[in-house]
Amino acid sequence: MAQQMLLLTVVSMWLFTGYFLAEATYYNHHMYNRFRAHNHHVNMDNQLPPEVPVVAEPVASQRVNFSRTFYGIMFDAGSSGTRIHVYRFIQKDPAALPVLDHEMYNAVKPGLSQYVEKPDVGGETIRQLLKVAKKTIPKELWIQTPVVLRATAGLRMLTPEKAKVLLDEVKEVFDDSPFFVPNNSVSIMNGANEGVLAWVTVNFLTGHLYAKTRRTVGILDLGGGSTQMTFLPKLKKTVLNAPPDYIARFDLFNATYELYSHSYLGNGLFAARLATLGALGSDDLDWKVFRSSCLPKKFSEEWTFGDHTYKVSGIADGYAGYKLCYQEVLRVVKGIVHQPLEVKGSSVFYAFSYYYDRAVDSGLIDKDRGGTVEVRDFKKRAKEVCNKMTKYRPISPYLCMDMTYITCLLKEGFGFKDSTVLQLAKKVNNVETSWALGATFDYFRNLNIH
Ligand SMILES: Nc1nc2c(ncn2[C@@H]2O[C@H](COP(=O)(O)OP(=O)(O)O)[C@@H](O)[C@H]2O)c(=O)[nH]1
C-alpha cells in the first residue's frame, strides 16, 4: 500500500511537471524556447495543459546547488463562496521539471455574486484572502507569483453588466496587490471547462492520467448554481449520441482525449432549491412566500441567494415527506438533464462539493475521511431525513430537500443505477478536489510570454 502511494505520488509529480515547464519558462527564456520547440498544441475549445515536453539531460555543472520554489494563486469565485488556492512548486535543477509540493486553501462565504449592491465589500473579501496568500508566500516571490480568479455559476447567472462591476472590482484589488497580475487574470469560466478542469485535477491526483490503460475516473461536481458531469467515454456510441457541445477534445501526453462534459446552469443545489420552490426568476419577492413539502411544516425564513432574498416556508397545514418532496424536485431535473447510456455501466465517479457536504451532514460519511457510497445510500438517507424532519432540523431545515434533490439528480437526471459507486472525496493526496488545480495548469500553459 505504502509502495503504491509512493508510486502514485511519483507518477503524479512526473505528470505534473509536464504542465509546469511553461511556468518555469516565465522566468527563463532558454527554458521557454525549449518549451515552445517541444509542445504542439491544438487550439481547441477546452484548453488544457500541454503534452510532456522532451527535456534534455542537464550537464552536471547545472545541477549544482539549484533549487527553486515558486507559487501560483488561483481564486475560485463560486456562487456560494470564494476560495483561494495557493500552490507551491519546487524545481530541483534547471532542467528538472517542477513538482507540486503543497497547497494552501482558504474560503469565505458568501460568494461574490451576493455583493452586487456593494461591490467594494465584495472586493474586500478578496483582499482578506490575499492576506492569507501574503502570509504563505515569501515576500521576495510576491512580484513573480501570478494571481488569477475564475468565476463560476454565481456570476454566470448575473447580467453581464452586474458581473462586470464585480470583476472590475476584483481586478482593482489584484492591481493594488504586490502579486503579478497577468492579462485575463479575472474572468468567468465556461461551464464545460469547469467540468473538464475538475476531471483533469482528479485524474491527475489519482494517477490516472499516466496509466497506459487509459482507465480514468469520472467526476460529479455539485455547486450552488450549477452542476457538472465529466467522464471519458469508453464507447464511441456515447460520443456519437451526445449533444455536440457536450464533447470536449484535447491532447494530453501524446494522447487525444474526448471527454463527455456538461454543466447545467440552474441545477446547482441552491438554484435547485429555488426552482423546487417555484421561486427561480419570480417577481414580487417582497410579498410572495414560497412553500414546499420538502421543508419542516413550521419552518419559515428569508433566504438569500445571488442578488435576491426570498421568503420561504414549509406547508403548515399540509403534508411533508420524501414522496411529495421527490415529486417536487423531479420537476427541476426531468427532461433537462441528458442521460449518457454509459453511466449505467460500471464506471467509477468521484463526487465532491455539495455531494460531499450533504453526505457529511446526513451522516453518510466522515467529515475528514470521506468514503465510498452507492447511489442507493443517498436515497435511503434522503427518505430517513425527510420522514424525520424534526430530528434533522437542527443540522439544516433544507437537508430533506437537498438529499432528495441529490438522489433525484443522480437517478432520474443522470440515470445512474442504485448500485453505482461514488467516491466522495474532499482531498486527494492532500490537495482539494476542485477545478482550481486544473485551471492553474491551464493558466500556466496559456501564459503569453514574449
Ligand atoms: N473543500 C472544498 N470545497 C470546495 C472547493 N471548491 C468548491 N467547494 C465546494 O463546492 C460547493 C459549492 O460550489 P460553488 O463554487 O459555490 O458553486 P458554483 O458556483 O455553482 O460552481 C461548496 O460545497 C464548496 O464548499 C474546494 O476547493 N475545496
Q: 27 alpha carbon to ligand 1 midpoint, in Å? A: 32
Any atom of ligand 1 within 6 Å of the Cβ of 111: yes
Whole-number Å distance between alpha carbons of 115 and 168: 13
Any atom of ligand 1 within 6 Å of the Cβ of 195: no
Please tell me the residue having the least CA distance from ligand 1 atom 15. 78
- What are the pLDDT tens digits along the chain (450 aa)? 333 332 333 333 333 333 332 222 222 222 222 222 222 222 222 223 333 222 233 344 444 567 889 899 999 999 999 999 999 988 887 766 668 899 999 999 999 999 999 999 999 999 999 999 999 999 999 999 999 999 999 999 999 999 999 999 999 999 999 999 999 999 999 998 999 999 999 998 998 887 666 789 999 999 999 999 999 999 999 999 999 999 998 776 667 788 999 999 999 999 999 999 999 888 889 899 999 999 999 999 999 988 899 999 999 998 899 999 999 999 999 989 999 988 887 789 999 999 999 999 999 999 999 999 999 999 999 999 999 999 999 999 999 999 999 999 999 999 999 999 999 999 999 999 999 999 988 877 642 211
What the chain holds in terms of domains, given with CATH numbers, is 2-190+433-446 (3.30.420.40), 193-268+322-431 (3.30.420.150)
149 by DSSP, 3-state: which? strand
Please tell me the residue having the least CA distance from ligand 1 atom 24. 353
Point out the ligand 1 atom lying closest to the alpha carbon of residue 357: 23
Any atom of ligand 1 within 6 Å of the Cβ of 83: yes
pLDDT of residue 303: 94
Point out the ligand 1 atom lying closest to the alpha carbon of residue 153: 19
Whole-number Å distance between alpha carbons of 339 and 410: 10
Please tell me the residue having the least CA distance from ligand 1 atom 10. 353
Dihedral sign from CA coordinates of 216, 2, 53, 204: positive
pLDDT of residue 254: 64
Q: 74 alpha carbon to ligand 1 midpoint, in Å? A: 14
Any atom of ligand 1 within 6 Å of the Cβ of 313: no
Give the phi and the psi of residue 150 in degrees, each rounded to 5.
Answer: -120, 130
Which of 73, 74, 80, 264 is the best mutation target for the ligand 1 pocket, counting ligand atoms within 8 Å of the beta carbon and taking the most? 80
Any atom of ligand 1 within 6 Å of the Cβ of 354: yes
Burial of 94 (0-12, 13-18, 19+ CB in 10 A): middle
Whole-number Å distance between alpha carbons of 260 and 165: 33
User: β-strands 421-424, 349-353: how paired?
Assistant: parallel
Point out the ligand 1 atom lying closest to the alpha carbon of residue 269: 20
Any atom of ligand 1 within 6 Å of the Cβ of 76: yes
- Which residues are documented as binding site for ATP? 224-228
Could you tell me where the beta strands, DSSP code E, fall in 98-210?
99-108, 147-151, 186-188
All three cell numbers of 358: 450533504
pLDDT of residue 265: 95
pLDDT of residue 253: 60
